Amino acid sequence: MMRRKRFKNRISHILIAATMVSSLFGLNGCGNAAVAVPELKDPLSDTVSIRTADERIVGNISTLMGTVVPKSYPVYSRKNASVKEILVGVGDRVEEGDTIAVITLGNGTEEGNRIRAELASLDREKTMNNAVTEAEIERLEYEQKVEEAAGDEGAAAEKANAIRIAEENLRYENALNDSQRSSANTGLKNLNDSSGTVKLTAAHSGYVTFVKDVTRENILGQYENVAVISDYDDLYIETDEVNLKDYKYKDYKSKWTTIGGREAELKEYEYTNEETAFSLSVEKNPPMAFSVKGAVLTPGADLVLYFMEEEKIPCLAVGNDSIIREGSDAFVYIENENGNVKTKVETGRNDGLYTEILSGISKGDKVIYTNRAVTPKNYSIFEAKKATYTEACETDMLSIANPYYDIYTTDCDGVYQKVRAEGDVEKGDELFRVESSVKSSDVEAARLAIANLDNARNKEVKDYDARKAELQEIINRGDRYNPETMASDTDAIHEYMYSTEIAAASLKMLEAEEVFNAAEYAAERKLLVDEYNRLKKGTGKADGLSNYIVTAKEGGTVSYLKYKNEERVEKNGFVMTVEKPGSDEENTRILALVTGKAGLSVSPIMSAKPGNEVVITKNGRKWKGRCIGKNGEERKYMLFTRDGKPCTTFSKPFSRNIEKQFYVEIDGRVSGEDLEGARLSFNGMEIRDVISVPNSVIRTETDQLTGTEKNYVWKMVEGDVVKEYVKIYKTRTNVEETLVLCGIEAGDRLLK
């Protein structure tokens, strides 16, 4: 402080004023008109101050906030569908190929069942044809031997030809069967692509971090995720501030972040050209993502991402408030033993606050700058250190998670009959009834179809039994052919020679046909019975209500009823979901909700991220855990290639009128009673190894003409108080510390 006073006394007020005006407005010797001096928040000062010329990074540094996330693999449908079953919950470990969900595409279930029944019938038909033909050829061979024994060469030749025809017919029938099977399989595949029941499987092993909320509806949109699987062994950095289309730093020469106290180079996540072109064409662009070289990432960690157009190389620089422009020349004032010396300098790059000096002065020179802010007179010293910057958040909206779902639909059109309210249910509890609108004549027609099929089958069985008895009688009486007495009797040869063998072959043919007919009858009858039972559902009464009763498959909670009593429902329509708890595991999964207050939206950071640590407290008790999953974001797309095709998917937010929702897993067992009145705390923002200073250290000046704000600190340098401009992170919650992105370093001594 004394040094500045001595220096000030050596300079005339005229020189001070000239220096200040020249520095601020770049006046030259051509008599330019004066410009009004803008007002500053801090009081004006008529002093000048000194900075020591030093090396620093000069360049416009842009920043983004990033988060370490695991690589994720969505489970989705390419077409609109309804979710029939979800087999996993948030926090589950799954393996590649595991079934994650079962969905129904379109309304082709009945057609799919018909085609599958046709395929089963073709299988049975092929088996029968092969067995019948084999027995037929066996019979014809014996008959050929009979003709040969009788000396009828023409008849024997006819039998040989009949064998060839049977063999050729079998080849044709099998070829026709294969063609019909191929056509049916193609039809089934096409049906499965647009309708029918489809299993969705895991494309990768990992942990489930998102499951679609089906408490209020089970409709799955085109390319909507029913679940997301994350691999915590494959981490990268993602920023929600820009997406692939908005990103503008690709050609910047310097991109870095700080991890573990050391700088790490950033590299853009490499999407393929096909993926990028597709994403841009459909305007469904994913958040910008990065990888880092030689750094260990921690899931859920927040990072500051830095971007600079130039190479990040320190250079000799002075503040712009030290430079005087006279035409094309630049000057600074240097303090030395001769007073202040006007010195011509050659300048380089300029970032709006500092200018690179290529020649004219040296590192360590004392350079004058104009100081329009009053230097604090009463202050204490704060030494900047690398620390962890946090923005703490909490919520008291907690409940034991029910991560699994049983989805209930109705098998018929009709009227919904409410039999319970929302709340807990046990296995077997009645959930709802539906009174069908099917006509009694339709039910009777279905019953008659079964009766007619049964009558036809009964006649078929009687005919089979009679024919089988005839053949069995021939087989039982044995071979009656006597070559000594019948060798020349052609009638006896035809009647008795190989009669047992021929009857046995005919019986094989008859039995093969019966096996086929019995299986066909059973399959057709099942379809007719299923249709009859479906039509009959809800057409009868029990205690004044429909006898179509739907009961709980397992215990759980009904949190939402879609229909009011006596409302119309449609066949296969969604009715309700029962949320089910997990198995009795060592740890407890908890659902945390965050909602806004007084109509205000919730801050983006008011949600824990997978991997974040959390703490639950109540009356001095404490439980620790971690976030295992979070709510979906409909406008946040995932870009990837699956089955050779690029696509983008999204995760729809939970439909519970809650802005933020996430799942946590607590170490140990926690009960619902424990959660009553408890609070869950987490860091919505947590950035390690950064400069974090008390708010009182940061000051602001505003140019009233342009509205431009600049943040700065007072820094103690070799006994001098120096004004240093800084870039800070604009907080989204009330905090006592300010995150300084650039401008000061650990060890700097700051005034507060």
Query: pLDDT confidence of 735, banded at 50, 70, 90?
Result: confident
Hey, which bits of 254-412 come out as E strands? 254-259, 262-268, 287-292, 302-308, 315-319, 324-326, 329-336, 339-350, 354-359, 366-371, 381-383, 386-395, 397-400, 404-409
pLDDT value at residue 377: 81
The whole-angstrom separation of Cα 167 and Cα 269 is 64
The stretch 359-378 carries a mean pLDDT of 87
Q: Is the dihedral of CA 73, 75, 78, 80 positive or negative?
A: negative
pTM attached to this predicted model: 0.75
3-state secondary structure 24-77: HHCCCCCCCCCCCCCCCCCCCCCEEEEEECEEECCCCEEEEEEEEEEEEEEEEC
Residue 360 has which token pair?
A: 């004219």
Mean per-residue pLDDT, 257-280: 93
Pick from 97-111, 214-228, 511-525: least confident: 97-111
Say whether pLDDT at 574 is over 60: yes
Query: Are 176 and 69 in contact, with CB atoms under 8 Å apart?
Result: no
H/E element, 431: strand 430-436
What is the structure's pLDDT at 493? 83
As a whole number of angstroms, the distance between CA 429 and CA 178 comes to 48
Distance of alpha carbon 559 from its chain centroid, rounded?
24
Digit-coded pLDDT (tens) for 144-178: 988 888 888 999 999 999 999 999 999 999 999 99
Q: Which of 731, 428, 424, 392 is nearest to 559 (CA)?
A: 424
Q: What is the DSSP letter of 697?
A: G
**What one-character-per-residue DSSP string does 191-204 give?**
HHHHSEEEEEE-SS
- Is the pLDDT confidence value at 609 over 50? yes
Mean pLDDT of the chain: 87
CA atoms within 13 A on the CB side of 372: 18
Between CA 375 and CA 356 the distance in angstroms is 26
Is the predicted pLDDT of residue 420 greater than 50, yes or no?
Answer: yes
- Reported as half-sphere exposure (CB side, CA atoms, 13 A), residue 526 has a value of 8
- Among 39-53, 196-210, 349-363, 412-426, the least confident range: 39-53
Write down the residue that tokens 């005229």 correspond to. Answer: 14
Of 196, 117, 222, 218, which is closest to residue 521 (Cα–Cα)? 117
The pLDDT tens digits for 92-144 are 999 999 999 999 887 666 777 788 889 999 999 999 999 999 999 999 999 99
Residue 562 has pLDDT above 50, yes or no: yes
**26 pLDDT more than 80:** no
Phi-psi label, residue 328: left if phi above 0, alpha if psi -120 to 50, beta otherwise: alpha
Region 744-752: mean pLDDT is 92
**Residue with the larger pLDDT of the pair 545 and 488:** 545
Q: Is 172 left (phi over 0), alpha (psi -120 to 50) or beta?
A: alpha
Measured CA to CA, the distance from residue 90 to residue 628 in angstroms comes to: 7
User: Is residue 287 within 8 Å of 648, Cβ to Cβ?
Assistant: no
pLDDT digits (tens, 9 = 90+) for 388-399: 998 888 899 999
Distance between CA atoms of residues 352 and 525, nearest Å = 85
Q: What percent of the chain has pLDDT over 90?
A: 62
The pLDDT of residue 534 is: 84
Cα(163)–Cα(468) distance, rounded to whole angstroms?
A: 24
Region 198-209 average pLDDT: 96
